[in-house]
Structure 1
Amino acid sequence: MNAFPPGNHDALWLPFTANRQFRASPRMLVSAHGMYYKDDKGNSVLDGCAGLWCVNAGHTRPRIVEAVQKTVATLDFAPAFQMGHPLAFEAADRVARLAPGNLNHVFFCNSGSEAGDSALKIALAYQRLRGEGTRTRLIGRERGYHGVGFGGISVGGISGNRKLYGSLLTGVDHLPHTLDLRRNAFSRGQPEHGAELADELERIVTLHDASNIAAVIVEPMSGSTGVLPAPKGYLKRLREICTKHGIVLIFDEVITGFGRLGASFAAEKYGVVPDIMTVAKGITNGTVPMGANIVSDKIFEAFMQGPPEAIDLPHGYTYTAHPIACAAAIATLDIYAEEHLFERAGALSSYFENAAHALRGYPHVVDIRNEGLVAGIELEPRPGTSTTRAYEIFDRAFRQGVLLRYTGDTVAISPPLIVEKNEIDRIFETIGRLLKEID
């Protein structure tokens, strides 16, 4: 068994964790570099999931470390309310320049969860500012994940994240999810079938009337629910319906942003520009917590119509645009650009796809889904249980030196964008070997 540090181990309550199970057989990480962690016994662990979908440029990159060290010694904190600092403006400009279309304005926060709740508030306020104050209804999607704030879990559609917390926000409806194993199992990239599921938004509009609907929020590729790429044409159809009815379209790009799919954002890859994008994770390479909303000119300008001395958006966080986070973001974006990591991810995606789909026909595998440098291997649940096979592969893989993710009955893979082909091979060979070993 791995060793805990001295002290009361019950003092730490781990998130999204079976804490009692963990304490019986802990998995402890103590350092990281490049593509690898080290555990508390000195074993090297290949990072097959970029930490938590966030370490896109690999671990402890010197450029980011130096930027953080310099900033914490120079400007450890600066208030964001009625104040600014140069790094915040530089970071916002750099992020906006990556975004597609007219997404030119950046509101910083500290996480994807905060970005999700901020986007919903911005959308509601925008509708009121343009004289559409009856538009208060929010539309999410089944199996969607938009963080763990009350707004995020209300529009989210993962039952395990919702069931303990009562009625959540009122006035929320959900589109159907897009997973269709009958027609789309073992699709490579975007599934061929399912664009018509976007038309369910028209049904919801008929039910509630467009005059009562503020926004729709979806992930272009749902990650936390088991890697569900949007069907071909689906996002374009959502964009058309939202434009037709004056509904704000929000893309949650917390996972898909910053190169994960082989482009700056999924919006760029798929050629569909939302009104708001939520981002986090890869924005700082996971080094310092940071999130952001990237909003369109149209939405930003609606907030700029009142008296110039009035606060235009009564919303924010103590740590909005924290200097250290901004420094980490700028250094991270430098690495992405100079090492062409988004393009590298795109170039590797076919090799990654073939390695993932080589597991078709292995025991227990019912579907394989992939896009860019992310894949989900869905397993048949054991009779009367769920998640146990995927958890067992996750746990055994870690003890054999490969870090994976599991979500429900799906094993998820999303390595840093610096991954090499031999490391891709090792990840999927480990999964394949374990599939043959478990019952």
Structure 2
Amino acid sequence: MSIDTKAIAAMDRNSVLHPFTQLKDFASGKLGEPTIIETGKGIRIQDAYGKELIDGFAGLYCVNIGYGRDEVAEAISRQAYRLAYYHSYAAHTTDELAMLSDRLVKMAPGQMSKVFYGMSGSDANETQAKLVWYYNNLRGKANKKRIISRDRGYHGCTVMAGSMTGMKFYHDHMDLPLPQIAHTGVPHHYWGSYDGETEREFSARRAKELDQLIEELGPDTVGGFIAEPVLGTGGITPPPEGYWEAIQTVLKKHDVLLIADEVITGFGRTGSMFGCQHYDIEPDLITVAKGLTSGYFPLSAAIVGKKVYDVIENAADRIGAFSHGFTYSGHPIGAAAANAVLDIVEREDLAGNSRTVGAYFQAQLKEKFAQLPIVGEVRGVGLMAAVEFVTDRASKSGFDAQMKVGARISKAARDLGLIARAMPHGDILGFAPPLVTTREEVDEIIDIAERAVRVVMDQVIQEGQKI
């Protein structure tokens, strides 16, 4: 189907409020025309102008099964023809919803009991916050309401989820964070460690800082701790050795619920089905979205552990109905899409592919980039990785932010046919390709990324920057 690209671009510029876009530059045309994405297949997308791009970021970490999977489209179509919508209030359900929920409870790590549905990772984390408050109210601990997150953690951008997100630019001019939220240190050994401090020593220090923060706030006021198994938007940073073991000891000491935000890591990205399994994390609550439907339909889930659910159920005779829900909670089309996606994830062992092809990906990244003079760190796990750029490897000196080195490398890669994301909080190039990516496609991604880095490195040298 051909479209009038000029007309579509004009309509978009005149009517769409784009997220994370410099609005004045876009409105004036300084940013150029909007990119109109038209088709996708496998790990590639094509825009309306005929340009093909390798999507090295799976949309926004979500298109795990790749683009154009007919079986998911067919599952969505079948459900839409059969029953496009019904709510899940007052014990209504559909077969797809019941089967999906049973599946998630059985496959999730820890002792899970029930699943509550929303439409995005943000709203699922709003639900998790309410569950922490509800749980503690019902067990007579009405002051135990604070939730601790981490600097550079990402948990969404709604009011509560945005408050839990540990990035200042999500808070500026938005009256966030809310006072119920506190933040503790980022678990990034490269930037946060003292000279000579091992990863285990660094992890022990971060755990001690968390313990001290809980003591300062008052253990009777802290109800939850939310964290991604691997930092995502905060820099694609795997935890240092011993981190999760040390952190969980502190949480158990102070009777603090652990919310594992698996929106990015869930369903295979680390090489395990869940990041919690990869790092021996025992969560009380789990948040999933993105990979749940591979982005084919908006759906999220708050998976509720038995410890929390039992308190809620046992209070029902005293307090009445569970008064939380959305019009689209447990949407039947979303449930059908999720079941079709998880069929593919399991049948094709995409967690296993992430583990094996991911190991090759990590090794190739280190081989091609680790010794370049502008590369400070290459890091990652499974099919998620980051390359961080510095002016001096020995002193870990960063580039002047005005140089926008990370953004320039991302643009150079895109010009060469690869989407790799410039991450916030530094000059960082991030990768999170679909979990169907092959070794041959890894070679393509690495080749384009290396060429992009070398183009910008040469530019930086010509501009007189010492490296």
TM-score tier, shorter chain, comes to: over 0.9
Report deviation, 1:48.
Answer: 0.6
Measured in 2, the distance between the counterparts of 1:144 and 1:120 equals 15
What letter corresponds to residue 118 of structure 2 in structure 1? C
Q: Does residue 344 in structure 1 map to residue 353 in structure 2? A: yes
Change (3 A) 1:182 1:404: closer
Cα RMSD (Å) of the superposition? Answer: 2.1
**Counterpart Cα distance in 2 of 1:309 and 1:334:** 40
Aligned pairs for 1:271-282 within 5 A: 271-282=280-291
Q: Structure 2 CA distance, aligned partners of 1:280 and 1:387?
A: 35
Following the alignment from structure 1 to structure 2, what is the Cα–Cα distance between the partners of residues 311 and 164?
Answer: 39
- Write out per-residue CA displacement over residues 173-200 of structure 1, whole angstroms, 9 at most, x where no aligned residue: 1111112326879xxxx96553211221
1:325 aligns with 2:304: no
Is residue 15 of structure 1 aligned with residue 24 of structure 2?
no
CA contact (8 A) 1:31 1:37 kept: yes
Say if 1:191 and 1:229, in contact at 8 Å, map to a contact too: no
* 383, 394, 412: which one aligns with 2:410: 394
Structure 1 residue 3, shift from structure 2 partner? 4.9
More displaced 10-residue stretch of structure 1: 266-275 or 329-338 = 266-275
- Residues 7-406 of structure 1: pairs in structure 2 closer than 5 A: 7-8=10-11, 9-21=13-25, 23=29, 24-25=31-32, 26-82=34-90, 83-181=92-190, 194-196=202-204, 197-307=206-316, 311-358=320-367, 359-380=369-390, 384-385=400-401, 388-406=404-422
Is the CA contact (8 Å cut-off) linking 1:239 and 1:274 kept in structure 2?
no
Secondary structure of the residue that 1:139 maps to in structure 2?
strand
Q: Which amino acid aligns with 1:12?
A: V
Does the 8 Å contact 1:193/1:231 carry over to 2?
A: no
Match of 2:395?
A: none
Q: Distance in 1 between matches of 2:378 and 2:199?
A: 11
In structure 1, give the amino acid aligned to 2:62.
C
> How far apart are the structure 2 equivalents of 1:386 and 1:279?
36
Does the Cα contact within 8 Å between 1:146 and 1:156 map onto a contact in 2?
yes
- Is the aligned partner of 1:417 residue 2:417? no
The aligned residue for residue 451 of structure 2 is: 433
Q: Taking structure 1 as reference, are residues 211 and 305 closer, same or farther at Cα in structure 2, changes over 3 Å only?
A: same
- Paired residues of 1:3 and 1:40 also in contact (CA < 8 A): no
Instruction: Name the CA shift for 1:154/1:430 in 2 (closer, same or farther; >3 Å).
Output: same
CA distance in 2, matches of 1:184, 1:309: 50
Question: How far off is 1:96 after superposition?
Answer: 1.5
The CA deviation string for residues 272-300 of structure 1, in whole angstroms up to 9 with x for no partner, is 11101111000001100111111111101
Q: Which among 2, 5, 8 is matched to residue 5 of structure 1? A: 8
Does structure 2 conserve the Cα–Cα contact (< 8 Å) formed by 1:363 and 1:436? no
1: CA distance, partners of 2:433 / 2:202: 28
Structure 1 residues 387 and 245: alpha-carbon distance in aligned structure 2, compared to 1, 3 A threshold = farther
Q: Larger radius of gyration, structure 1 or 2? A: 2
Q: 2: distance between equivalents of 1:327 and 1:353?
A: 34
Relative contact order (alpha carbons < 8 A, sep ≥ 6): 1 or 2 greater? 1
**Cross-structure match for 2:394:** none
CA distance in 2, matches of 1:75, 1:193: 55
Q: Match of 1:389, as an amino acid? A: V
- Tell me the CA shift for residue 396 of structure 1: 2.5
Change (3 A) 1:311 1:429: farther
Which amino acid letter does the alignment assign opposite residue 259 of structure 2? I
Q: Which runs of 5+ in 1 are unaligned?
A: none
Q: CA deviation at 1:91?
A: 1.0
Q: TM-score by structure 2 length? A: 0.88
Q: Indicate the SS of the match to 2:401.
A: coil
**SS of match in other structure, 1:27:** coil
Q: Taking structure 1 as the reference length, what is the TM-score of the superposition?
A: 0.94
The residue that corresponds to 2:463 in the other structure is none
More helix by share: 2
Could you tell me how far apart the structure 2 residues matched to 1:181 and 1:393 are?
Answer: 21
2:110–2:284 Cα contact (<8 Å) kept: no
Distance 1:60 1:168 in 2: 39
Distance 1:131 1:372, change over 3 A: same
The structural deviation recorded for 1:386 is: 5.2
Q: Assess if the C-alpha contact under 8 Å between 2:412 and 2:455 holds in 1.
A: no
Q: 1:317 deviation in Å?
A: 1.1
SS in 1 for 2:89: coil
